[in-house]
Structure 1
Amino acid sequence: MPASNGSTSPAVPTETATDLRVDCYVRSSVPGLTAETITTIVNRLQQLCDHGHISTYQLHPWPPEQHAVIETDETREPARHELVAEFERWADQHGVTLEPAFRRQEVPSSPLGISADEPRERIRVPLVALALYEDDSAAADQESASLQGVVPYTEQSPTGTAQTYTVDEWLTAVSTNTGEIVTYNSDSHDDHQPLLERQQ
């Protein structure tokens, strides 16, 4: 359920920034209702561009957990674990966590005892997430842009309550230029979680 109190100093930038690029990561296959919600998110990002709240945005499908074909460092996109590791470094630096929207789960080895099938880790990602970068259009290497924030994320309040800052809340805060956020109690049941922060 939404919390009644907001925070005026979120870990991610919410004020108008003409040098802010938003990378929107989405699942490539989602149910119809969720697809409509993601379309609404994209339309809101376009409106933020049109009104000068952000510099630009890019839409990406979540990368695979591992690349099927080995590519050179110059050409390949980061795999999911590399991308999420970058997000986790940002979260650690700002004293917040990406859970419960992002989760690492160990996949047990095969019960058949095949030696090559060793235990591995699976990274569960939300239906949609935003990565905020300092945009430098003049730079030749856009991959070197500085990560400014990731949404959704969760932080601990002074009272010890875990509060999750969602994609919808960030979009609203930026569009209204208030910088205020309304958070959700991450201890609530899944039925009360915002749709886009649920995992599949």
Structure 2
Amino acid sequence: MKTLLSIAVFITIAIIAWLSVTDKNYSDETLQPADTQPHIEIFINNFKISNIDTRGQANYILSGKRLERYSNSDDAMVSLPVLNFLQENNHWLITADQAIVNNRTNIITLNDNVIMQQQDKPQSVQISSDIMHIDTSSQVAYTDTKVNIRQGPSRMQSTGMRFDNSKNILELNHNVNGYYLNPRHASH
């Protein structure tokens, strides 16, 4: 009787196990996220990416705390981005809280606490704003939002600006106010 009960329990467990395995239909649809719902396709923590020109020289270096690229999107989200433009005589360091990098358009949109700091120059220029768009192909930075500009003792504000790094030309759009002191004469 004990043996018969043990065999019955064993057969019952075997049937339950077999049904639980064969009853579920695992298809590709249940294992893969739906194409309509975005999901993280790529992520990198504490990264540094260099863009190299045709001569083998670095155009810029983008680093940050985290980069996330979602499915069905040309955009990658970057937290705490640092963008380093490395051109001779026009070296700029640009930081922000967040950025969106669009690989199709080569536009980097920096958001929240954007600071552009000119490097390797005495009396360097510092530009701050809430939003800044950087076209990495043409090296043009632009925004329609309020910007604050500092250079030594000079201070200016504008609503919107366009800065062409390759030509070293800064255009202030409108509502411009402030004062400019020539850095060569400011110390006299």
TM-score (norm. length: structure 2): 0.25
Relative to total residues, which structure has the larger helix share, 1 or 2? 1
The structure with higher relative contact order (CA 8 Å, sep 6+) is 1
Q: Please say which structure displays the higher CA radius of gyration.
A: 2
TM-score (norm. length: structure 1): 0.24
